[in-house]
């Protein structure tokens, strides 16, 4: 009797990321993930039910990772003018790798036709917006945060690939935008 391969949900998600990197988001399928993980398609369906569920699980996992990292960075940025904003800027100092870029593309491509994925991303954005708007100069914080998002999206989608010095200088400019903007807002 053949032994079934023991694979965790996390390993299936790792396989999903590898498929997206190798084949692109358009060719992501449960069958491709099963082959990459070395398990049956039935096992993938048992754990994730659909391609959309795989993507939702990837989002949840990344959201958890990012939340933990932001929590740590907020502590590191406690002495800055806006710890929540500056933590997110510091997090953006990390250059997205090929897996992160591929997953961003897969999620983006699937969002247009999947309301559940849209809700997941909306929850993520709402949490960030609450954190960003919770301090003084909330309008300026939003402005800086949206500049950060614009920069980050361009990187995640592979539209810009700046050298480290230029990237860090731009991120410092976002910090300066918030710090130097007058306190009085109408």
Would you state the pLDDT for residue 150? 96
Contact 152, 95 (CB under 8 A): no
Contact 151, 103 (CB under 8 A): no
Write down the H helix ranges in 77-137.
83-91, 98-111, 115-132
* 87 SS3 class: helix
Dihedral of the CA atoms 154, 18, 65, 175 (nearest 10)? Answer: -20
For the chain, helix, strand, coil in percent to 5 are 75, 0, 25
Would you state the pLDDT for residue 1? 45
Contacts of 56 (CB under 8 A, 6+ apart): 116, 117, 120
* 82 SS3 class: coil
H or E stretch at 170 = helix 164-180
Q: Which DSSP state fits 158?
A: T
Give dist(CA 170, CA 87) in Å, integer.
Answer: 15
Task: Give, for all 186 residues of the chain, the pLDDT tens digit.
Answer: 455 668 899 999 999 999 988 888 778 899 999 999 999 999 999 999 988 889 889 888 888 999 999 999 999 999 999 999 999 999 999 999 888 888 888 888 877 788 888 888 899 899 999 999 988 899 999 999 999 999 999 999 989 999 999 999 999 999 999 999 887 654
Q: Nearest to residue 103, comparing CAs of 61, 70, 67?
A: 61
């Amino acid at each position: 009797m053949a032994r079934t391969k023991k694979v965790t949900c996390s390993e299936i998600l790792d396989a999903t990321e590898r498929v997206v990197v190798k084949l692109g988001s358009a060719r992501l399928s449960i069958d491709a993930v099963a082959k990459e993980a070395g398990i049956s398609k039935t096992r993938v369906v048992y754990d994730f039910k659909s391609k959309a569920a795989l993507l939702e699980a990837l989002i949840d996992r990344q959201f958890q990772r990012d939340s933990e990292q932001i929590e740590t960075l907020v502590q590191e940025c406690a002495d800055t003018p806006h710890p929540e904003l500056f933590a997110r800027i510091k997090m953006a100092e990390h250059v997205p790798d090929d897996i992160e870029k591929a997953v961003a593309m897969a999620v983006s491509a699937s969002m247009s036709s999947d309301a559940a994925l849209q809700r997941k991303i909306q929850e993520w954005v709402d949490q960030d917006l609450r954190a960003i708007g919770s301090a003084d100069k909330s309008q300026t914080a939003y402005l800086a945060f949206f500049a950060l998002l614009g920069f980050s999206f361009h990187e995640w989608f592979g539209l810009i690939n700046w050298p480290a010095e230029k990237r860090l200088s731009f991120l410092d400019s976002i910090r300066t935008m918030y710090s130097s903007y007058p306190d009085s807002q109408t």
